[in-house]
Structure 1
Amino acid sequence: MKIGVLGWDYSGIDPDGHHLVDYGRERGHETSFFTLEDIAYHPGPEGPSLTLRGEPAESFQAIINRCKLYGDDWQDRVERLTMLSNVPGVSLFDPADAWVTGYSKFLMAQRLAAAGLPIPPIRSVMSLADVESACAAWGPVILKPSFGYRGMDVERIVDPSADKAVVEDLLARFPTLVCQPYCPTEGGEYRIVVAGDATPLNLLKLPAAGSWRCKTMEGASYERFDAPEELVDLSLRATRAMGMTLSGLDVLPTRDGYLILEVNPIPGFLALMGREQHRQVLGGVYDWVEERTAAA
């Protein structure tokens, strides 16, 4: 099978794009790597035809997507991915609709809620007065941009007056912010990685002393976690609702049950727990891609 891997970029910041290429070759596929910048349009009998690093898009049977949509050239990147999603006969894992929804926290919340999945309450804020209103209703809140990654620009606001500078700085850069009630994280949160039908990499992340952030890049610890059946089922249902093949879910345990905080379409650090578990993730992706491409 001829399979392309649509990667983040060529810098190596996302090594798993190249790992997917190498693993595909081990399984006997003709696999190659390219990025959104490698997509070009040419005159064709039915409108523009696409090439991927010089190869006709139609020559690929499947494409695994780990592309970057963030950046000042956002519109161009979404256009390229949408054009690729529309190529007849090519199975894209996953297409533009799933990718854009996975990038947007507002769209993600809307889709998960429509599927009956548990998420925190969510509202938009566009002014300090909006934040004050949210805090009056919920107490401490979390503010973050709808389009953001790696936990950047995520802030906890306890007192809007005392935190006025933080709020105004965020609003100056992101005119509309996602606002949710703050849920205590002292007990940690779960990271569940779904790869096709498998959940091969599951972690419990615990914030560092004195911190509320369950972010490993900011000192949070992590350990392997045997997810109970109900959490595995919840994660699989959320991933299918989002239309994703590979996802990393952040799930918070609360006294009232689980809350899905995020379904990340490009989970990183897939080799965090060693080679064997890493290969289980890659294998889960290829099992899914092979089965669905053969059935298409």
Structure 2
Amino acid sequence: MKLAILSRNTKLYSTRRLVEAARSRGHTVRILDPLRCYMRITSSGFGMHYKGKALTGIDVVIPRIGASITRYGTAVLRQFEMMGARTPNPSDAILRARDKLRAHQLLAAKGIDMPVTVFGDNPDDTDDLLSMLGPPPHVVKLSEGTQGRGVILTEKLSASKGTVEALRGLYANFLVQEFIAEAQGADLRCLVVGDQVVATMRRQAQEGDFRSNLHAGGVAERVQCSKAEQQVAIRSAKALGLGIAGVDLIRSKRGPLVLEVNSTPGLEGIEGVSGDDIAGRMIEYVTSLKR
């Protein structure tokens, strides 16, 4: 089978592992920089070129599209879809996951629980907006932040108001959430492939921080998540239309809560702590997809 991986960096751990896993299973695989892909769109058909040559005959496309190129990267992926290629994460599903506000609305509509979230635009409504959320601490998140960046903890109401006003002044898109104190700076990353959670790690924030992301200095260990947590993770990925996803949960007094659904989950941390061939599981899944 002929596979393509959309990735801007051939040296990234996740990209390398997917290539290794695909080739070890007898597949042909090529890494394509999505920004070097360019398209011809007509009513009679779709075409794609890469560095001066036509791209044809690709069976499956695995998107590893960074947040900074979401718009163009998903357009390239959509073109491949129009040309008949299969993908575990369609372009529209990635767009749903990348917009935190939209993702939260879609998850809530499916009855999936998460920290209480508020969102508003007009500065005149800030006081009432925060009253809808409840007393601080509050967590302020940029709508398209990644890897723990763009996440702020405010412990006083005045700090919440000041942060909201500052972000509005920068024309940033953000949302505000309740802070789940009982999580104690820890979350679960559940790696969903198809209808299964294939690995889970618990990430713990370093002392003095509340962000458990490994890029923010958190540490990870392998854990076994409960059946309820597995079901929430799988339902969350399905709600957004993702076949492969990293679903971040926190354990609260009212059960597992979804923090985020990542359409391009990294493999280095979770393969390192689990010792499992997760890249292989992903390749086996994507090559089983039907048109």
Q: TM-score range by the shorter chain?
A: 0.7 to 0.9
Matches within 5 A, 1:231-242: 231-242=229-240
- Shift in Å at residue 44 of structure 1? 6.7
Unmatched 5+ residue regions in structure 1?
A: none
Could you tell me which residue of structure 1 aligns to residue 192 of structure 2? 194
Could you tell me which residue of structure 1 aligns to residue 2 of structure 2? 2
Aligned to 1:125, what secondary structure does the other structure show? coil
The letter of the residue matching 1:5 is I
The letter of the residue matching 2:9 is Y
1:81 to 52, 77, 80: 77
Inter-CA distance 224–276: structure 2 relative to 1 (3 Å threshold): closer
| Aligned-residue RMSD, C-alpha | 2.6
Kept in 2, the 8 Å contact 1:160–1:167? The answer is no
Inter-CA distance 242–43: structure 2 relative to 1 (3 Å threshold): closer
- Shift in Å at residue 47 of structure 1? 4.3
Alignment pair present for 1:179 and 2:210: no
Bigger drift between 148-157 and 219-228 goes to 219-228
- Shift in Å at residue 289 of structure 1? 1.1
- Shift in Å at residue 176 of structure 1? 3.1
Could you tell me which residue of structure 1 aligns to residue 219 of structure 2? 221
Kept in 2, the 8 Å contact 1:197–1:284? The answer is no
Could you tell me which residue of structure 2 aligns to residue 264 of structure 1? 262
1:70 to 65, 68, 71: 68
Of all paired residues, the percent bearing the same amino acid is 23
Distance in 1 between residues matched to 2:207 and 2:71, nearest whole Å: 41
Inter-CA distance 236–270: structure 2 relative to 1 (3 Å threshold): farther
Unmatched 5+ residue regions in structure 2?
A: none
Alignment pair present for 1:289 and 2:289: no
The letter of the residue matching 1:285 is M
1:139 to 125, 135, 142: 135
Distance in 2 between residues matched to 1:275 and 1:158, nearest whole Å: 33
Aligned to 2:180, what secondary structure does the other structure show? coil
Matches within 5 A, 1:81-160: 81-87=77-83, 89-126=84-121, 129-137=124-132, 138-140=134-136, 141-160=138-157
Kept in 2, the 8 Å contact 1:200–1:277? The answer is no
- Shift in Å at residue 242 of structure 1? 1.8
Inter-CA distance 271–207: structure 2 relative to 1 (3 Å threshold): closer
Distance in 1 between residues matched to 2:15 and 2:171, nearest whole Å: 30
Aligned to 1:83, what secondary structure does the other structure show? helix
Kept in 1, the 8 Å contact 2:185–2:210? The answer is no
Number of residues paired by the alignment? Answer: 288
The letter of the residue matching 2:99 is S
Kept in 1, the 8 Å contact 2:194–2:285? The answer is yes
Could you tell me which residue of structure 2 aligns to residue 18 of structure 1? 16
Point out 4+ residue stretches in structure 1 off by more than 6 angstroms.
none
Could you tell me which residue of structure 2 aligns to residue 49 of structure 1? 47
Could you tell me which residue of structure 2 aligns to residue 36 of structure 1? 34
Deviations 1:226-282 (A, max 9, x none): 112221122122112222122111101111111111111111243545397352x11
The letter of the residue matching 2:59 is Q
Give me the TM-score of the superposition, normalised by structure 2: 0.87
Aligned to 1:274, what secondary structure does the other structure show? helix
Distance in 2 between residues matched to 1:30 and 1:70, nearest whole Å: 28
Distance in 1 between residues matched to 2:186 and 2:9, nearest whole Å: 34
Inter-CA distance 187–210: structure 2 relative to 1 (3 Å threshold): closer
Deviations 1:160-209 (A, max 9, x none): 42455543432233433212222213162211111234423211222333
Kept in 1, the 8 Å contact 2:221–2:273? The answer is no
